[in-house]
Amino acid sequence: MYKKFYGFKERPFEIAPDPAFVYLSEVHQEALAHLQYAIQEGKGFSVITGEAGTGKTTLVRKLLSNIDGSSIRTCYIFNPIMDSTDFLNYICNDLGIESDGIKSRGQSLTALHNYLLQCFTKNEKVFLIIDEAQSLETNLLQEVRLLTNLETAKYKLLHVILLGQPELNQTLSEPQFRPLKQRITIRYHLRPLTLRESKEYITYRLKRAGSRDLAIFDNSAIKKIFRYSKGIPRLINIVGDNALLTGFSRDKNRIGKNIIQSVIRDLEIKEKSSWSQKSKSFLQAFIILLLLVCVFCGLLYLFLPDLFNNILGMRSYG
């Protein structure tokens, strides 16, 4: 809607991860370097953490776009909420392992092991990349650890990269996961952007979108965006996109702090409205449950008064 008005070829603040729009701040460059090192050296276990929206998924997509497909095989799990059987089946299917005749977990493990051995003989590395790893159930995280036991006398056959929010670190610190934690060879935490990096991020995305005017957002607007987003790229994108739409509707070629304040106010109202709706739904469910209990007690009193009085007597005695 606003692309022509601002001279964009593409919308600069799309939320969907796009490797073409990746802005590599110093911390993102370090994180990507850690991931590339894990791939090149075939490290057994790597963990990258960061708050929601800091760019973990975008980094993975950037990494995958740079991988040499002739010597690296990858299985990318973007939603790990599944049981162990589905988990193994997903890995086999994503790696292109023939699944005809596979009916049990043991058969899936055997097929995966044979595939990994074949890749090893061809000098190919196989990586299992799990996004949103903080959502892994306990038994599934143990399954991941056990999969890394697939090895030769010298080399790991399967390499694992876990990406997740800080809660993942808390999970890995639990005593039951000590064996897994000891296997982690690469670990990195992705921090949010600084004010300077946030300004560079906004400018970079405007440039990638084809804008000739890289000062659409003035300094006061950028500072407002930073205070609200706390340097989280996803929130910067949300505010930036809404600000451009608001600026277009007001016929403004420059985005100042007043427009950003207006956008943030609207976003906060929507957020409060969402929580209000959830609270209202919870209250309605509670009232319905209370009514059902009252109806049940009334029917019990009408048709089975002795049982009703016995229940009351037992509660009084207790």
Query: pLDDT tens-digit profile of 49-107?
Result: 999 999 998 888 888 888 776 788 999 999 999 988 889 989 999 999 887 777 788 88
Selection from 95, 51, 60, 63 nearest residue 78 by Cα = 60
Predicted confidence (pLDDT) per residue in 253-263, tens digit: 999 999 999 99
Predicted confidence (pLDDT) per residue in 202-235, tens digit: 999 999 999 989 999 999 999 999 999 999 999 9
pLDDT top residue among 221 and 146: 221
Predicted pLDDT at 199: 96
Do 9 and 207 contact (CB within 8 A), yes or no? no
Do 127 and 161 contact (CB within 8 A), yes or no? yes
Report how far Cα 119 is from the mean position of its chain's Cα atoms: 29
Selection from 69, 57, 51, 49 nearest residue 22 by Cα = 57
For residue 313, what pLDDT band results from cuts at 50, 70 and 90?
low
For residue 282, what pLDDT band results from cuts at 50, 70 and 90?
low
The answer to whether the pTM exceeds 0.85 is no
CA distance 121 to 153: 14
Give percent of the chain with pLDDT exceeding 70.
Answer: 89
pLDDT top residue among 298 and 91: 91
Looking at residue 174, its amino acid is E
Quick check: helix, strand or coil at residue 91? helix
Looking at residue 170, its amino acid is Q
Q: Is the pLDDT at 312 greater than 70, yes or no?
A: no
